[in-house]
Amino acid sequence: MTERLELIQGDITHVTADAIVNAANSSLGGGGGVDGAIHRAAGRELLAECLTLGRCPTGQARITKGYRLPAAHVIHAVGPVWQGGRNGEDELLASCYRNAFALMEKHGLRTVAFPSISTGVYGFPIERAAPIALREIRAALERRPELERVTVVLFSEKDLKVYQQALGA
Ligand code: ADP
């Protein structure tokens, strides 16, 4: 199971996979951080498709094509904004991963790369987010033998170390 899970440091816009996951906001209209990087790399057609989808509530996800990205699809997942940890943030974060995997299944996708959802501008502490992300990824890998590879792409070496530690724990 864990041989189908990999943690790498890098830029998710360079990853070739059936889908990459975007840490989007509810408007699906683009933003900063990984969202901005994905929209820049995919081109304006991605924004045009996103704007046909309407709003996406926190904890949910929507799928589009990948356009100029090496990835075939983008799954736009809206993570929670950190508000201190007592406003359902853990469950909403878990829900992003679960809904992303549900879209993978629905569309017959086998390889996916995730960024560390909510741990940038949205302020979710990465030490708390990493075990939630990894728990949901492991659960999906156990339930779904058709999943070939799940990659978590960490932007910094520090973030990679946090996830590596959480994976070993
Ligand atoms: P959020 O608003 O959900 O917190 P951010 O984009 O601000 O989303 O941050 C989510 C994570 O994505 C952060 O760890 C950030 O460092 C990382 N990140 C930013 N750009 C990229 C990229 N090109 N590839 C992978 N991860 C990225």
Query: What ipTM was estimated for this complex?
Result: 0.98
**How many structural domains does the chain have?**
1
Contacts of residue 163, Cβ cutoff 8 Å, sequence gap at least 6: 7, 116, 130, 133, 134, 152, 154
Q: Is the CB of 151 under 6 A from ligand 1?
A: no
Catalytic status, residue 18: no
Q: Which of 110, 32, 118, 29 is nearest to 73 (CA)?
A: 110
Q: Is the CB of 12 under 6 A from ligand 1?
A: yes
For residue 1, the model assigns a pLDDT of: 60
Residue 25 structural domain: 5-168
Contacts of residue 107, Cβ cutoff 8 Å, sequence gap at least 6: 19, 63, 73
Q: Is the CB of 115 under 6 A from ligand 1?
A: yes
Which CATH number does the domain housing residue 50 bear?
3.40.220.10
- pLDDT lower than 70: segments of the chain: 1-2
